[in-house]
Amino acid sequence: MRFIHPLSHETLQLLNRVHKQSRHHRVRQRAHCIVLSSQGYTTTHRADIFQVDRITIYHWFNAWEHNGFPGLYSRKASGRLPLFTPDQKEQIRQWIKLFPRNLNKIRSLIHDEFGLKVSKQTIKRVLKSYRLIWKRMRKRVKGQPAPELYQQRKAALEILQTEDCDGIIDLRYFDESGFCLVPYVPYAWQQSGHTISLESTQSKRLKVLGFMNKRNELEAYTFEGTVDGAVVIRCIDEFCKTLQGPTIVVMDNASLPTRPTFQAQLPRWEQQGLEIFYLPEYSPHLHLIEILWRFMKYEWIESWAYTSWSHLVRYIDEVIQNVGDKYKIHFG
């Protein structure tokens, strides 16, 4: 049977204060245990009070006798030892760069290289410690813009954006996108064991051509069938009828805007107050209307829109009519 050596009055007072006021439950228990020992409670009795085994009581005593009050607190290194060394964790991070979608492959590499059998959840915890997240991959253009031209065009666009904010011009981003009944499969919260399915049907495509600014003001036109140069010219002609002042239209450097038939319209549009600004090649991230298409295809769309062609058309019309109100994008 083991008891703590007699304690001074000041030590007992401080132990009682720790027992009553410490924020940590385990520290309060240990302080109380030391006090009870000084009062003659047996080890068995104290083990029953705190619902721990006798070995734990002995560990508390040893920590008190060797360290005093600091011994009431858990050591920094207490708890389960890390499964991976820092070098092994770094190696896992490098492997995930090679196999970003295949945790089974990572498990196999860990077993082969480290001799450890781990679960996917363990690997996920390692990846999250490096602030890696599971999210949708994104397509990107194959080429790269010419660096000098890219910087020139980007700087010019920033000047136009400033003039737009100051109300000097109306800066519009123009582009075309297509919609059909083949669904863009989104993420969704679903009941375990049950999967939400979207019916996929081959269909014609509805083309939307839009002129949008950062204030969520949108002029859009819809077409079924092919969008050629004549359609684009007709849309710009219709848009010119809505101009309220000097307007710059941002377009990507695609084949249509560079054709002679399109170029021939520029002087006429300039007389009406509209000028064209071409983005550098391979720079979709500078084209803000791309954000609108992404929201329409992935964020705002509901499953009912894919049930029939008429429902899809209704959904697109609803978005076009309510951009800036029900459907709003907060541009940075």
310 found inside a domain: yes
Express as a percent the part of the chain with pLDDT over 90: 50
Residues 317 and 170 both lie in one domain: yes
Global pTM reads 0.60
Compute the mean pLDDT over every residue in the chain, rounded to the nearest whole number.
Answer: 87
Residues 53 and 24 both lie in one domain: yes
Q: Are 150 and 286 in contact (CB under 8 A)?
A: no
Question: For residue 213, is pLDDT > 80?
Answer: yes
Question: For residue 35, is pLDDT > 90?
Answer: no
* pLDDT greater at residue 12 or residue 207: 207
Residues 151 and 268 both lie in one domain: yes
Segment 180-212, tens digit of pLDDT: 988 776 666 666 676 666 666 677 899 999 999
Question: For residue 179, is pLDDT > 90?
Answer: yes
The predicted pLDDT at position 299 comes to 87
The predicted pLDDT at position 314 comes to 96
Domain range holding 282? 147-185+196-322
159 found inside a domain: yes
Q: Which of 134-148, 160-174, 211-225 comes out lowest in average pLDDT?
A: 134-148
Residues 155 and 247 both lie in one domain: yes
Q: Give residue 64's pLDDT band: very low, low, confident or very high (50, 70, 90).
A: confident
The predicted pLDDT at position 2 comes to 61
Q: Give residue 120's pLDDT band: very low, low, confident or very high (50, 70, 90).
A: very high
Return the top range by mean pLDDT from 30-44, 106-120, 124-138, 252-266: 106-120
Segment 238-287, tens digit of pLDDT: 999 999 999 999 998 776 777 889 999 999 999 999 999 999 888 888 99
The predicted pLDDT at position 139 comes to 61
Q: How far apart are CA 97 and CA 99, in angstroms?
A: 6
Which of 307-310's residues contact partners 24+ apart within 8 Å by CB, and which partners?
A: 307/199, 308/181, 309/181, 309/203, 309/204
For the segment 111-124, the average pLDDT, to the nearest whole number, is 93
Residues 63 and 205 both lie in one domain: no
User: Residues 291, 292, 295, 297: is their CA dihedral positive or negative?
Assistant: negative
The predicted pLDDT at position 192 comes to 66
The predicted pLDDT at position 37 comes to 83
Residues 100 and 207 both lie in one domain: no
Segment 298-326, tens digit of pLDDT: 889 888 898 899 999 999 999 999 999 99
Complete edge-to-edge strand list for the sheet that includes strand 218-224: 218-224, 206-212, 170-179, 247-251, 274-278
Q: How far apart are CA 5 and CA 270, in angstroms?
A: 97
138 found inside a domain: no
120 found inside a domain: yes
Residues 164 and 305 both lie in one domain: yes
316 found inside a domain: yes
Residues 158 and 306 both lie in one domain: yes
CATH code (residue 271): 3.30.420.10
The predicted pLDDT at position 291 comes to 94
Give the containing element (helix H, strand E) for 165.
Answer: helix 147-165
Q: How far apart are CA 16 and CA 19, in angstroms?
A: 5
Question: For residue 78, is pLDDT > 60?
Answer: no
Give the count of domains, the chain: 3
Residues 113 and 238 both lie in one domain: no
Q: Which two tokens stand for residue 17?
A: 């204060």
Q: How far apart are CA 198 and CA 312, in angstroms?
A: 13
331 found inside a domain: no
Residues 160 and 272 both lie in one domain: yes
For the segment 109-117, the average pLDDT, to the nearest whole number, is 93
137 found inside a domain: no
How crowded is the C-beta side of 287, counted as CA atoms within 13 Å?
25
Strand-strand pairing, 247-251 and 218-224: unpaired
Residues 251 and 280 both lie in one domain: yes
Q: What secondary structure letter does DSSP report for 297?
A: I
Question: For residue 77, is pLDDT > 60?
Answer: no
Residues 56 and 97 both lie in one domain: no
The residue behind tokens 């050596």 is 5
How many residues make up the chain in this entry?
332
104 found inside a domain: yes
